[in-house]
Structure 1
Amino acid sequence: MTPRTKEQNEQIRNLRMSQILKAAADVYLERGQQMEIRDVAAEAGLGYGTVYHYYKNKMDLLHDLMLQAMSRAEEILLSAALAAGQPAAGAAVSAGPSAEPGRGRYADARAARPAAANGTGPPQRALAVKLLQAWAEDHAFYLACRLGGEQFRPLPEAQAEPLAAAFREQVLRPLAAILGALPAADPQAPADGGEPGRRAEWLLAALTGCALAPLRRGTLRDEAVQIAAFLF
């Protein structure tokens, strides 16, 4: 038998990692802290030893799952901003990491007229729909948003603190920028309706709570518009 090349070994490794992380997200969604490596192996259709080769314990596995999910946050949130704001084609969307809420790459939503995914309603509804639909496809991102609201307390402190910092920078901060750029959902609402950062926390808390049951049922994508309409 011809030995595998280095590139083939790397492909196999990437495939195994992808299987393990996807399975871990599905298992944690159902079992939470009761998740064990053996559960992940069974869900992934891999041997226990194969999963253990990559992850010696469930906390390291959960840490990597959260870290990789948050690395996808910028692309997901930018897509959500475009869905909510519907900026004109060709509008500039660029900003450095120090952009203020309501400015930079998400700020084009400011010029948008209120429109939700079903054609009516405030732009916050379209944003909520987009997030819910993203979670329906990416369970790990849902878990990152849910556990981020809890400061990743299920993990050891040495892992939780840097994850919480990444969550603030990669999820809360851009989401606050989107919310700061959108027109008010209710023009009659009090002007002191919360800072964008605090509203970002409220939005994620409300959405993750509403999403859990339909996510477990596998119906979140179908129910996303109804959930968003209920909240907005």
Structure 2
Amino acid sequence: MSPRTKEQNDAIREMRMNQIMQAAAEVYLEKGIQLEIRDVAVKAELGYGTVYHYYKNKHMLLEDLLWDALSRTESAVQAALAGDNGSSIKAKPFSTLLLRKCIQDPSVFILLKSVADNFHHFPGNRFIKLFAEFQERIYSPFVEMIREGIDSQSPEKTANLIFGSLVGCAALNIHHNMQSEMDVEGFVDMVYSGIQSKER
């Protein structure tokens, strides 16, 4: 039996890390910051030593999870960020894409919830750079869409209200195991119609 090539080893490493991060997201939804590497190993159906080989502690694992979630979030809303439509039309599709991804991908939900909570469950200041990147890549472009597309006296407050609504809706869907497919567009329409009628 010939030894594995570097490419094969890299593919196995990537597959294992994805398996570990997916399990970590599921465990985090169940236990929050109390999650332990051992819990992740059980959920991923891997040996404790295998998970520990990739991540020496849960904080390193959660940090990787959240950075990966930022990339996933940016990819999910890219169509709205890069669209040729006027800014007035971009904010709603952006919100729709974000909510859909938040419900489908636990790591994106964990990221948005952590940002909304200002990372207060995490020790130290290890997420300052992640928060700054989130602001630059997700939040600030969204505020700009609000500024140009909705007649709002405070685009930042409006953006915060929408983000909070999306995170709250996703939390209900995730934590209460809603069986039926959620009407994402309907929820986003309701949020925007409420905001626009209030701003008039």
Give ranges in structure 1 of 5+ residues lacking alignment. 92-107, 113-122, 185-190
Give the AA of the match of 1:214.
N
Q: Between the two proteins, what is the percent identity of the paired residues?
A: 35
The match for 2:55 is 55
Distance (Å, rounded) in 2 between the aligned partners of 1:223 and 1:50: 40
Shift in Å, 1:179: 2.2
Which residue pairs with 1:110 in the alignment?
Answer: 87
The structural deviation recorded for 1:25 is 1.2
Segments of structure 2 that go 5 or more residues without pairing to the other structure are: 193-200
| Cα 1:183/1:229, change in 2 over 3 Å | closer
In structure 2, the partner of 1:133 is 100
Call closer, same or farther: CA 1:111–1:226 in 2, change over 3 Å. closer
Q: How do 1:60-71 and structure 2 match up within 5 A?
A: 60-71=60-71
CA shift in 2, pair 1:111/1:199, >3 Å? closer
Q: TM-score, normalised by structure 1?
A: 0.72
For 2:188, the equivalent position in structure 1 comes to 228
Q: CA deviation at 1:164?
A: 1.7
Distance 1:206 1:220 in 2: 20
**Paired positions, count:** 191
Distance of 2:178 and 2:47 partners within structure 1: 26
More helix by share: 2
Pairing 1:1-20 to 2, within 5 Å after superposition: 1-20=1-20
Map 1:1-232 → 2, pairs under 5 A = 1-81=1-81, 91=84, 108-110=85-87, 112=89, 125-184=92-151, 191-192=152-153, 194-195=154-155, 197-216=156-175, 217=177, 219=179, 221-232=181-192
CA drift at 1:126: 4.3
Partner of 1:94: none
Instruction: Tell me how large the CA RMSD over aligned residues is.
Output: 2.4
Q: In the aligned structure 1, how far is the partner of 2:142 from the partner of 2:180?
A: 21
Task: Evaluate the alpha carbon distance shift between residue 130 and residue 28 of structure 1 in structure 2; reply closer, same or farther with a 3 A threshold.
Answer: same
